[in-house]
Structure 1
Amino acid sequence: MARTRVNVAALYAALDAARTTRGLSWRQLAGQVGVSPSTMSRLANGHRPDVDAFAALVQWLSLPAESFMVDESGDGADVHSAEEPELLAQLAPLLRSRRDLGEDDVRYLEEVIGAAMRRFISERKAAME
């Protein structure tokens, strides 16, 4: 039977990125989300949030909860399909839906992310040889 859990590190990283982008302290973020500051401290220390806090956090992030779920029944694989879709294919709709990014901004980000992904893939292949 699959054992699905919250990927606390991924959740914390997403919160930290959004917090930094919005210029918030952890205490301010907790206030906006409606959770206690100690919830943020527990996340920083790798502890899973309770279900209500998790729901509030993913809602604040405007991301689906399953983005932070992992199957720990063996290989720790993502609960999504075993084969990950291409990162840029996942990011393109998000980038294009952003009102704070112009078309040139989106193209630039796609180029930068695409170049980084090609480098990562190339380095992985070289390491396997």
Structure 2
Amino acid sequence: MGSYLDIERLASLVRKKRGSRGLRETSAEIGNVSPSTLSRVEGGKMPDMETFLALCDWLQVPPAELFRTTEEDQLDTPEAIAIQLRADKKLDPAIANALASLVKAAYRDLSQQDDESKQDP
């Protein structure tokens, strides 16, 4: 049984709590998290452990609530690829998100083609 951090949920919670406040203001409130790191997390990048725990404290969310197991949430291939792309520190968050969207769109297209071929004898 494997586990993974639900980075999408973390990013969503951070964006929601920050709201319309600026990155600098929010990072100062959290403490020990730079505005650029906060931006990367909001963009779906995997934070380091210290940042993750600081964000959990700020969000008032137990860290365990943000982890999923592969047994409870069997990831489909496009989602697994998206998680890997967003976790890659070499990729800009915007590029990682764009690539993830392309992969998901390609898989949706394949799925629709499969459905159409099953309907046409």
Q: TM-score, normalised by structure 2?
A: 0.53
Q: Superposition pairs for residues 1-129 of structure 1, below 5 Å?
A: 2-20=1-19, 23-34=20-31, 35-72=33-70, 75-76=74-75
Q: Give the total of aligned pairs.
A: 73
Letter in 1 for 2:10: L
Gaps of 5+ in 2: 76-121
Q: Which runs of 4+ in 1 moved over 2 A?
A: none
The answer as to whether partners of 2:5 and 2:66 remain within 8 angstroms in 1 is: yes
How many angstroms apart in 2 are the aligned matches of 1:25 and 1:6?
25
Preserved contact between residue 11 and residue 43 of structure 2 (Cα < 8 Å): no
**Considering only aligned residues, what root-mean-square deviation do their CA atoms show, in Å?**
1.8
- The separation in 1 between residues aligned to 2:42 and 2:16, in whole angstroms, is 13
Deviation of the 1:25 alpha carbon: 1.5
**SS of match in other structure, 1:48:** coil
Q: Secondary structure at the match of 1:70?
A: strand
Unmatched 5+ stretches in structure 1: 77-129
Q: Residue 6 of structure 1: CA displacement?
A: 1.4
Taking the aligned partners of 2:17 and 2:27, their CA distance within structure 1 comes to 12
